[in-house]
Amino acid sequence: MEWDMNPRAMTVGLQQPQVRALHGLIRRNRPTAVFLMETKMRSSRLKGLRKRLGFCKGFDVAPVGRAGGLSLWWDTSVEVEILSSSSNVICSQFQVMNTGDKAYFTWVYGTPYIEDKNAFWHWMENSLIPTTMPWFCGGDFNKYLWSHEKRCGIVASHNRPRFLHNFMTKMSLFDLGFNGPSFTWRGRARNGDLIQERIDRALANATWQSVWPNTIVSHGAVLGSDHCPLIINTDPKRYICKKLFKEAGKHL
């Protein structure tokens, strides 16, 4: 599930509205894994929050100063190996304990800074390697794919670099689609107009689709954040893997 939160949220415990919203999402969806972005929190504080919310294991990427920070949580139904990490990406391998199924998961927080986008997407295209194993790649890419995925504001021209499109093509990844609202982020332009974009998404390769063909991605309601949660359910009928959701707690 992907979710951007208020800059001052989750700094003084579970009484903050954003933390209550996160707790409610976890209680309702019972996820196997949670991904938080732009946490702005030390690992020790994230560990305490993670345990209070019922996750036994996790991995954190520390923020740089007062910006950034990533956190991946998981429960005992999966075994997780962290393959690599950076300030924007966590690469991991998951194994489902009761079935033995394995898959690669790339958890992404794309840079929001225009001056850093060339370097970030160059790294994505040249450091990640396509795999024949099931591969899920999701998060806040800070990039919409098509013009209809932005409402109001200035839509990028066709002459602008198509970073996300090129990355998906090179990695043989496709969009898993979604249920729910059309946009995942909302903000205000300088003139006060509401801007909405679909910049959070779930991608997968063909092998993932063959193993989990019924995967459903849902855009949840916006709660205490300018992003909506993105909830990934690998088997909605049988509920075998519970729900894998990445929770982008930006400005956590």
DSSP state letters, 34-90: EEEES----HHHHHHHHHHTT--EEEEE--BTTB--EEEEE-TTEEEEEEEE-SSEE
Tokens at 77, concatenated? 């139904």
Give a yes or no: residue 7 inside a domain.
no
The domain of 42 spans: 17-246
Give a yes or no: residue 125 inside a domain.
yes
- The predicted pLDDT at position 134 comes to 96
Give a yes or no: residue 234 inside a domain.
yes
Q: Structural domain tally of the chain?
A: 1
Nearest to 83 by CA among 32, 142, 129, 120: 129
- The predicted pLDDT at position 159 comes to 46
- The predicted pLDDT at position 55 comes to 93
For residue 53, the one-letter residue type is L
Give a yes or no: residue 251 inside a domain.
no
What is d(CA 145, CA 92) in angstroms, rounded to the nearest whole number? 25
- The predicted pLDDT at position 234 comes to 87
Give a yes or no: residue 1 inside a domain.
no
What's 174's domain CATH number? 3.60.10.10
- The predicted pLDDT at position 13 comes to 27
pTM of the model: 0.86
Tokens at 61, concatenated? 């990427």
Give a yes or no: residue 252 inside a domain.
no
Q: How many CB atoms lie within 10 A of CB 102?
A: 15
Tens-binned pLDDT, residue by residue, of the chain (252 aa): 443 332 222 222 233 566 778 888 888 888 899 998 888 888 888 899 899 999 999 999 998 887 888 999 999 999 999 999 999 999 999 999 988 999 999 999 999 999 999 999 999 999 999 999 999 999 999 999 998 999 886 665 554 669 999 999 999 999 999 999 999 988 888 888 888 999 999 999 999 999 999 999 998 877 667 788 889 998 776 554 445 555 444 444
- The predicted pLDDT at position 244 comes to 58
- The predicted pLDDT at position 154 comes to 66
Give a yes or no: residue 54 inside a domain.
yes
Q: How many CB atoms lie within 10 A of CB 129?
A: 8
Give a yes or no: residue 102 inside a domain.
yes
